[in-house]
Amino acid sequence: MNRFMTATLGSFFLLSSAAFAEATVGVVFSKDDIAIIAEWYQNHDSGPAHGDGRKKPKGLPPGIEKNFERGKPLPPGIAKQVLPQGLIAKLPPVPRGYERIVVDGKILLVELATNVIHDILVDIIMR
């Protein structure tokens, strides 16, 4: 009986983790999300202009920049900002357990429980 319980629990956890992985793998910015975000930043000021007139983010330190990608956790202590309220109002809600944030001029879709980056939009703010 003990082997049966162990096998049953093992199967349950395998199926649960597979279902969880399937539920979270496809969480990315949709084409509609990208279009709404790009249009919003084209029509709104995104920060102070520099000498050439383009908006430029400050930049991350090189050690953090190389770990800043999909599937990796957001580095601890990173300065993140919420999206502007006007943009949030235009976008559909994010899936439960996720948030959209701005870090270093990039827009991220991050899982709240793990801080794992699921998608990154680069250069949208500078368009």
More confident residue, 37 or 9: 37
- List, for residues 70-88, the tens digit of each pLDDT value: 999 998 888 889 999 999 9
> Would the pLDDT of 42 be above 80?
yes
Domain 28-121 has CATH 3.10.450.160: yes
Model pTM score = 0.69
Contact, 109 vs 117, CB < 8 A? Answer: yes
Tokens of 38: 């790009």
**Residue ranges of the domains in the chain?**
28-121
| DSSP symbols for the chain | -HHHHHHHHHHHHHHHHHHHHHHHHT----HHHHHHHHHHHHHS--S-B-TTS-B------HHHHTT-STTSBPPTT---EEPPHHHHHHSPPPPTTEEEEEETTEEEEEETTT-BEEEEE-SSTT-
Residue 101 pLDDT grade (very low, low, confident, very high; cuts 50, 70, 90): very high
